[in-house]
Amino acid sequence: METPLCSICLESDDILCTGCQQKIDDGEMEEVAVEVSRLLFDLSQDIPTLEDVEVKEVRRTEEAIVVITAAGDGPKVVGKNGEVVKELADEFDRSIRVVEDSGKPQEVIENLLEPVDLQGINTVYKPDGTEQKIVVDEDDKRRVPMTTDEFEDIVEQLTGESYILSFE
């Protein structure tokens, strides 16, 4: 299993090496990444499909925890019948979103918004350039498990492009 933590910290229960602690201090990794990574490692002892998973990052949002995996690893982290996600949700008392870093912007956006339907992605032309606008139905605003800023930040990190989330 590959996670934001080194293998030594992954197997430890209470302390972090100076390298992993520095990642937290520098804002490269959130504390929740430590907790989720260690729980996934523990679960991998009983769920063999988790052994070869790559967790790239874990982010805590207002109402959810977003687990960002390598392409193809999302279903493994969800688990058979959602068993892994249910375990994570129970442990952290939050909704869990598993998003694959697939390199395909629309796929990443749809996974982050799930179960909310994406209305479209529009290019808006402005005098000072263009911007990409993600359109979601206004009635679904409460169902998006993070703030607009959190959503836009994660999408930009995963796609390398800036998007504006719009509820219409």
pLDDT tens readout for residues 20-78: 999 999 999 999 999 999 999 999 999 999 999 999 999 998 888 999 999 999 999 99
Secondary-structure class of domain 102-168 per CATH: alpha beta
Helices 18-25 and 31-44 meet at what angle, rounded to 10? 130
Instruction: Enter the tokens of residue 6.
Output: 């080194």
Please tell me the CATH superfamily of domain 1-101, with its number. Answer: K homology (KH) domain (3.30.300.20)
Task: Indicate the domain borders of the chain.
Answer: 1-101, 102-168
The confidence band for 144, taking pLDDT boundaries of 50, 70 and 90, is confident
Same fold, 1-101 and 102-168: yes
Tell me what the mean pLDDT of segment 4-22 comes to: 91
Q: What is the pTM of this model?
A: 0.85
- Environment class of residue 69 by beta-carbon count within 10 Å: exposed (0-12), middle (13-18) or buried (19+)? buried
pLDDT of 160 > 90? The answer is no
DSSP code for 34:
H
